[in-house]
Amino acid sequence: MNTNEKSGFAKFIDSFGLPRLIITAFLLLLLVACPFVGADLPTQISNIISRFSWNGVLVLAMVPMVHSGCGLNFGLPLGIISGLLGATLSIEFGFTGPISFVMAILISTPFALVLGSGYGWLLNRIKGGEMMIATYVGFSSVSLMCMMWLVLPYKSPNMVWGLAGKGLRTTISLEGYYNQVLAKFLAIKIGNFTFPTGTILFFAALALAMWAFLHTKTGTAMTAVGSNPVFARAAGINVNRIRLLSVIMSTWLAAIGILVYQQGFGFVQLYMAPFYMALPAVSAILIGGASVNKATITNVIIGTILFQGIVTMTPTVMNNMIHMDMSEVIRIIVSNGMILYALTRKTEAAT
């Protein structure tokens, strides 16, 4: 009986993954410790939820490419750049309020489609080496755009440097544009606890759409391509076309994701800011239980909550407990450790 139980527990650990278990336990510990160190639990939880709502879509953007066997999308910055173009152009064209958010999405879409197809075409030519090249495609596009932000003829006084009258600022305030536009929609407030209903609904709609898509014919084909490309080809699926589609979807979701992030955060961050945005999203989905070639919507939700939970909780709790702000170091070690763990698992991506 006892041995049976043990093997059941071992099995549970196996399926859940030891690192994930440790991270969950750590987060629970932080939550329990919260009242003892004098931090306000409702504030903390509402922080976690709102940060989840900012980042959810960016993490969701990982799903299509993982499904089609392109691996983790380290090239997320490319999609983020489309989003930034949408955001800045929407402001430049003089849209304000909630309309500016809708316009930002609309304007960023064609950029995401074009950049995504170029990116997908490239990834189709280098099957097997996607992740490394994706990383560097992201990096080079961010540094190229650094020059572009300076050179492009933006005029709006809210965005350009005051003195020179040209060149975009590093951070642009969204006050008067789409700051909190989703978060304030139907927001529920109980004391210190705020629930950003609009953002959560927006994320839920996209997640549901993604879930539904993965159950359509094309979606199943995508999963087939990811799990066994040879079989997929034999079944008459155009592997390259499906992969291209997945990359475009991922890029577009990244563009939407950064806009959602901005509306929560309240600022557009340009220049080097998109540089390291891929890593948190990648590690979030991995913490949620995804692997290099398998990911579900549940992984996205659990992963984002766990990751953002640790990111928001460690500074406050640790600070109060040992008067040492180790949160940054913990974040680096946990997120990169998680990526390493996933990369070393023996889930051979078939080439």
Partner 1 sequence: MNTNAKKREKAGAFLRQSSVPIMFVIICAVCIPISGLSPSYLINEIVTRMGRNVFLILSLLIPIMAGMGLNFGMTLGAMAGEIALILVSDWQIVGIPGMVLAMIFSVPFSILLGWFCGKILNMARGREMITSYIISYFINGVYQLVVLYLMGSVIPIRHGSIKLPRGYGIRNTVSLLNMRQKLDNLIPLTIAGVKIPVMTFIVIGVLCLVIIWFRRTKLGQDMRAVGQDMQVARDAGINVERTRIISIIISTVLAGIGMVIYLQNMGNIATYSSHSQIGMFCIAALLVGGASVDKASIGNVFLGVILFHTMFIVAPKAGAAITGDSMIGEYFRVFVSYAVITVALVMYETQKRKRKSLEGQKLAQAQKGEQNKGQKEENEA
CB of 70 to partner 1, least distance (A): 13
- Check residue 327 for interaction with partner 1 (CB under 8 A): no
Q: What angle do CA 257, 48, 255 make, to 5 degrees?
A: 5
Longest dimension (CA), the chain: 77
- Rounded Cα distance, 50 and 55, in Å: 9
The residue (of 140 and 298) whose beta carbon lies closer to partner 1 is: 140
Q: H or E element: which one contains 274? A: none
The residue written with tokens 């209903």 in the block is 197
Q: Which of 7, 140, 192, 216 binds partner 1 (CB under 8 A)?
A: 140
Q: Which of 13, 18, 21, 144 binds partner 1 (CB under 8 A)?
A: 144
CB of 244 to partner 1, least distance (A): 17
CB of 118 to partner 1, least distance (A): 12
Q: Which of 16, 128, 175, 176 binds partner 1 (CB under 8 A)?
A: 128
- Rounded Cα distance, 152 and 91, in Å: 14
- Check residue 170 for interaction with partner 1 (CB under 8 A): no
Under 8 Å between Cβ of 342 and 326: no
The residue written with tokens 């990244």 in the block is 254
Count the residues in the chain: 351
Instruction: Tell me what percent of the chain is helix, strand and coil, each rounded to the nearest 5.
Output: 70, 5, 25
Beta strand segments in 144-225, E: 171-173, 188-190, 193-195
The residue (of 10 and 326) whose beta carbon lies closer to partner 1 is: 326
Applying CB under 8 A, the span of 3-11, 187-195, 295-303, 331-339 interacting with partner 1 comes to 331-339
Size of the site for partner 1 (CB under 8 A): 37
Applying CB under 8 A, the span of 79-87, 144-152, 219-227, 306-314 interacting with partner 1 comes to 144-152
- Rounded Cα distance, 213 and 311, in Å: 31
CB of 143 to partner 1, least distance (A): 4
Which residues contact residue 295 at a Cβ distance below 8 angstroms, ignoring those fewer than 6 apart?
62, 63, 66, 67, 285
Applying CB under 8 A, the span of 29-37, 58-66, 146-154, 311-319 interacting with partner 1 comes to 146-154
Applying CB under 8 A, the span of 196-204, 237-245, 297-305, 320-328 interacting with partner 1 comes to 320-328
Q: For the packed helices 18-36 and 41-60, what is the interaxial angle rounded to 10 degrees?
A: 150
Q: Which of 96, 136, 176, 212 binds partner 1 (CB under 8 A)?
A: 136
The residue written with tokens 């009258």 in the block is 165
- Rounded Cα distance, 311 and 309, in Å: 5
- Check residue 337 for interaction with partner 1 (CB under 8 A): yes
Residues 265-294 as x/- pattern, contact with partner 1 by CB under 8 A? --------------x---------------
Beta strand segments in the chain, E: 171-173, 188-190, 193-195, 267-269
The residue (of 57 and 78) whose beta carbon lies closer to partner 1 is: 78
The residue (of 173 and 347) whose beta carbon lies closer to partner 1 is: 347
Q: Which of 33, 150, 214, 297 binds partner 1 (CB under 8 A)?
A: 150
* Interface positions with partner 1 (CB under 8 A): 74, 122, 125-129, 131-133, 135-137, 139-140, 143-144, 146-147, 150-151, 167, 279, 324, 326, 328-329, 332-333, 336-337, 339-340, 343-344, 346, 348
